[in-house]
Amino acid sequence: HSVDELIARLPKTELHLHIEGTLEPELMFALAQKNAVALPYASVEEVRAAYDFSNLQSFLDLYYAGAGVLLTEDDFFDLAWAYLERAHGDRIVHAEIFFDPQTHTARGVPYATVHRGLCRALAKAQQQWGMSSRLILSFLRHLSEDDGFAVLDEALPFIDEIDGFGLDSSELGHPPEKFARLFARCRELGKPVVAHAGEEGPPDYVWQALEGLQVCRIDHGVRSLEDAALVARLAQARMPLTVCPLSNLKLKVVDDLAVHPLKKMLDAGLCALVNSDDPAYFGGYLGENLLACRQALDLSADDVVQLVKNGFEASWLPSAQKACWL
């Protein structure tokens, strides 16, 4: 299909990618063996077979368990480097990457270990291919706001290498407003903030992210379409929504890609873009997300170009560099 060739060829961005969600079962097994961490699986095949999720929480339970094999700076480097090689193969020229430090500091891994390993891989990708990137420290919303303040303190010596802050993990019952003070502090540090909202949570959580946290992007946001006033607000502000179609399918946010709201979002004038979220768990990296949407939603070449352009528009690249890609 000619649109599929376009998808492969276009230079692209990735703006919603959890580095812990790129841990492929093969690397998980290799690191478990090296670090003598026990896994509740006998084989790589058994790991993959376990990736049959009923909702966000059923995924998060396995995602946090899998991340338990990451211990040393080299482990974090290897994780990120494996992702960056795939991203380069997918023609991704700019990646803004989430990491969840609380998942690691809670296990006794120092913040510095995580940070240094990831940054070393990002620097190598810049040097080797000219791939630009940003690093987004994401707070876990199932934990307390005080726990978030504690990890922010640990991260402060590295603040110059942190490009922004995010909010992820179990959405229902953990509304954005729970983190209003923490996000105000992050903004005082001069950093842009984003938040997962409207994935499983209601449109009200998207409003809270916008007004309470003052985010510059909404991660997911697919449930925004349930609220016409919210859609008008998002469209008017050109507020980016980092949509993750295969994630939504695997976590049963949608029953079928054919009924995914992505095309409706574009038609409503929203700045929607496609991302891969946790590709090792959801069965596809960025290219596969775009191909699956093209097929299920019959996206045109213009739709695909709009989605890719929205990615550059929504990125934190300086405007002169954006202009080069647009």
x/- mask, ligand ADE, residues 120-159, rule CB under 6 A, reads ----------------------------------------
Please state the closest distance from residue 277 (CB atom) to ligand ADE, in A. Answer: 5
Whether 200 is catalytic is no
Closer residue to ligand ADE in complex, CB, 13/242: 242
Residue 7 structure tokens? 């998808």
Alpha-helix runs per DSSP H in the chain:
2-9, 25-35, 44-50, 56-66, 73-89, 101-105, 111-129, 145-155, 180-188, 203-211, 228-236, 245-250, 262-267, 279-282, 286-297, 301-314, 319-325
Give residues 246-265 in contact with ligand ADE (rule: CB under 6 A). Answer: 247
- What SS3 class is residue 235? helix
Nearest residue to Zn ion by CB is 277
- Is there binding between residue 14 and Zn ion (CB under 5 A)? no
Out of 13, 102, 133, 169, name the contact with ligand ADE by CB under 6 A.
Answer: 169
Catalytic residue among 14, 20, 24, 199: 199
Out of 75, 171, 277, 303, name the contact with Zn ion by CB under 5 A.
Answer: 277
Binding positions for substrate: 278
- Is there binding between residue 20 and Zn ion (CB under 5 A)? no
CA distance 289 to 279: 9
User: Which of 145, 162, 149, 155 has the alpha carbon at shortest distance from 101?
Assistant: 155
CA distance 73 to 113: 5
Question: Which span (25-33, 132-140, 221-229, 271-279) binds Zn ion, by CB under 5 A?
Answer: 271-279
- Given a contact cutoff of 8 angstroms between Cβ atoms, the answer to whether 93 and 325 are in contact is yes
Number of neighbouring beta carbons within 10 Å of residue 58: 15
Catalytic residues: 199
Question: What is the binding site for ligand ADE (CB under 6 A)?
Answer: 18, 21, 56, 63, 168-169, 196, 199, 247, 277-278
